[in-house]
Amino acid sequence: MSTRLLGIAAAWSALALGGCAHHHSADHYAVKEVGSFHIGGRQVTLSGLPTKEIVFTAGAAPFKVDPNGDFEVEQMYVQYVKLHEMSRKGRYPMLMWHGGGLSGVTWETKPDGNPGWQQFFLKAGHDVYVSDAVERGRASWARYPEIFKTEPFFRTKKEAWELFRLGPEGTGYNTDPARRTVFPEGTLFPVKAFDQFGKQGIPRWATNDAASQAAYDQYVQKVCPCVIVVHSQGGNFTFNAALKAPGMVKGVIAIEPSGAPNPQRTDLSPLKGVPHLFVWGDYLERHSLWQRIMPSVNAYEDALRKQGTDVTRIDLPKLGIRGNSHMLMMDTNSDQIAAMIQKWMVDKGLSQ
């Protein structure tokens, strides 16, 4: 085990024994402001579409709906919680970016009812911004094919069970909760709350990456300097946003990113001074898609390290922490993982 991993393991052990009390002991924190905004997007004008009569509410008179006119589309939604100075320990706000087919709910209350990382990092002293990307949640979506060029697609519960590595690919999921199987070694995802987790699924489009990246880039310009913690599909958006604004992004915390820029075709030198943390769970070798995803993300991480970027990698199984799913922020040991992230931020001068 490398010196870096030994240090992380020692830190995790200390935190598990209560060493994180300085950062996460308070039951309360002082909030200065709660608010939200939309950012990004553009105006689109539609014409030539047929009108319809629609009854909006039972017993109401029909209303003529004309779909022609001006619309705001391709925006994203952001909600923030800013702490009072007496509670703030983070040097920069923490921006939480979600993954594919999901929304900012990823970071809020967990499916089993326990507090999520939004709450953890507020208690740790960070202003926290949680966003819904273009087409997700309160960002809203637009007509297709007039604006979005393809129809949406939806993730099945079977796909989530397997892709998020709760159980074996092809055989783990069953409609009957009692007949679902996890990996023989176990899972730290709260499987009794899996159906509740399924309610978080949101339609997504395969043709909106450019609009999403544009909105994320504007978001960084509006809010940062900042630290970004990102999950899964959001990784590629984060890496590209940081490349465009390295002076604004002070740290990147990538939780199992599923994509990254090609280092052979991308100048990564702007990120030399931006510390990166990569965190990986268990069973990555057990799913065929993850085996196809990992090489490109590993190549990106290696290229950052080779050019002198401060890169830390936490492979939880190598620390003896087994059973974590793709949804690390929802697993039963998620607070311990968050404490490791908080210590990394303290070590890098991003938090007190």
DSSP 116: -
Burial, 163: exposed, middle or buried (Cβ in 10 Å; 0-12, 13-18, 19+)? Answer: buried
Give tens-digit pLDDT for 125-173. Answer: 999 999 999 999 999 999 999 999 999 999 999 999 999 999 999 999 9
Residue of 197, 235, 237 lying closest to 325 (CA atoms): 197
Quick one: average pLDDT of 59-66? Answer: 90
Mean pLDDT over the full length of the chain: 93
Per-residue pLDDT, 28: 85
The β-bridge partners of 279 are 255, 314
Residue of 293, 263, 256 lying closest to 278 (CA atoms): 256
DSSP 273: T
Please state, in angstroms and rounded to a whole number, the distance separating the CA atoms of residues 297 and 291: 11
Q: What is the DSSP string of 61-111?
A: PPEEE---EEEEEEEEEEEEEEEPTTT--BSS-EEEE--TT--GGGGSS-T
Residue type (1 letter), 164? F
Residue 62 phi/psi, 5-degree rounding, is -60, 145
Neighbour tally for 109: CB within 10 Å? 13
Please state, in angstroms and rounded to a whole number, the distance separating the CA atoms of residues 184 and 267: 43
Give tens-digit pLDDT for 10-62. Answer: 444 444 434 443 443 467 899 999 999 999 999 999 999 999 999 889 988 98
Question: Does residue 202 register a pLDDT over 70?
Answer: yes
Question: Does residue 206 register a pLDDT over 90?
Answer: yes
In this structure, the chain runs to a length of 352
Give tens-digit pLDDT for 235-286. Answer: 999 999 999 999 999 999 999 999 999 999 999 999 999 999 999 999 999 9
Cα separation of the two ends of the chain = 28
Distance of alpha carbon 338 from the chain centroid: 13
CA–CA distances in Å: residue 204 to residues 134, 145, 282, 348:
9, 14, 26, 35
Domains parsed from the chain with CATH numbers: 3-47+74-347 (3.40.50.1820)
